[in-house]
Amino acid sequence: MTRILTTASIIISLNICCAALPQPVLLLDQQTDGPAIPLLQREIARQAVAQVFRDDLGYLCRDRALGAPAESPADLTVRFEFGQPSEHSLSVNLTGGPKGRETWNAVLETGNYLLLLEQACTEAANLATPRKSSGYPEKLPGQAAADSPRLTDLIDLLRTAHAEHLQNPSADSYALLIRGYAHLGQRCAHTWSASSKVYQARSLVYAQRFLREHPDSADALYLRAYALGLCGLHQLALNDLEAGKALQRKEPPSWMQPLECLLKFDTDALIETANSEHPQCVTAGLMAMMTLEYTPFDSRIFETYDRLNTKPDENLRVLALLNEAGGVRAMHKTTMEGLEQMKLMLRNDLLNHDLLPLRLQTY
């Protein structure tokens, strides 16, 4: 029950995120038949194309994989057809592209995620002339908003970052989009939908594009490490982290410290960070729980949860972890807690959001 309701909340929030704007609308269609493709590989290809339409061609993108209905009004509909994957490659055919480039065909490497990501971004860039980001700051800001425990705060952050990025792509807007989507992917990783892979792929695509623009930047490597780490590609993330440290003698941004602990499965260090005044203490609490997600010792998950001074109860992902690990009694408690948190989220966050019609805000 918790999972079903959580999925509904994500869709409601995304409808807020996709508020009507005076932009042409793109409907990103979802393949319903054909060969089975690993979701993250599929979404890297789809979101690389969507990112070009969104940021370089100025389209407002609606995605069938995120619940947009097939009959959604759109100025352009893009359809993907994935060929039967071979051992190391995936063929992609796109129809409905921009005028003069109505079709797009690519064969993408699947044996290496970094190569797949680079090829997808390179091929998608052929659909339009990419816009480069503006000046590069000496240090990326802390961006504490990306670590807020409230889902609506995260949605608002992404809406603002997209608006800023559309007007003036910058290192700051890239960083907010990369970390924001990485967090959103984890926030709904327990739902029965492809939404988490959509968000993770968006984070990876933005990280790859930023690294393509700034190949000698340690921060670009750190951001890609963040995206890779939160979608489960730990060794690739560690490689980027070490490469970033080799390029930059100064300390990495503060948000890299919890990630490095996650990549090394250092649960105790994450608990210590979560119980401190660290700017990413909330995120560290979630990461501490994530390090034990697949442990055969279920009691360790509950022990870790008890050691956290601030319980990340607003994060339904944490409750889902406890639900998976617990027996009948614990599952009953976490399921009921999930329903209670969903009620509070609807009442306090979504129904009071200023983007909703007034009649819904006062419901």
Summarised one tens digit per residue, pLDDT across range 310-319 is 765 566 777 7
Residue 9: the pLDDT is: 37
Residue 96: the pLDDT is: 61
The span from the first CA to the last CA of the chain, in angstroms, equals 24
pTM, two decimal places: 0.84
Q: Which two tokens stand for residue 74?
A: 């759109």
Strands (E), the chain: 25-28, 60-63, 76-82, 89-95, 103-109
User: CATH number for the 145-350 domain, one of 3.30.1330, 1.25.40, 1.20.120, 2.60.40?
Assistant: 1.25.40
pLDDT tens track for 27-53: 888 766 666 778 888 889 889 888 888
Among 15-29, 53-67, 338-352, name the most confident range. Answer: 53-67
pLDDT tens track for 271-296: 999 898 888 888 888 899 889 888 77
Res 230 pLDDT > 90? yes
User: CATH number for the 27-127 domain, one of 3.30.499, 3.40.109, 3.30.2000, 3.30.160?
Assistant: 3.30.160
Residues carrying CATH 1.25.40, the chain: 145-350
pLDDT tens track for 174-228: 999 999 999 999 888 888 888 899 999 999 999 999 999 888 889 999 999 999 9
- Distance, in Å, from the CA atom of 356 to the CA atom of 362, rounded to the nearest integer, reads 10
Residues carrying CATH 3.30.160, the chain: 27-127
Could you give the 3-state DSSP secondary structure of residue 187?
Answer: helix
Residue 73: the pLDDT is: 80
φ/ψ of residue 278, rounded to 5: -60, 140
Res 166 pLDDT > 70? yes
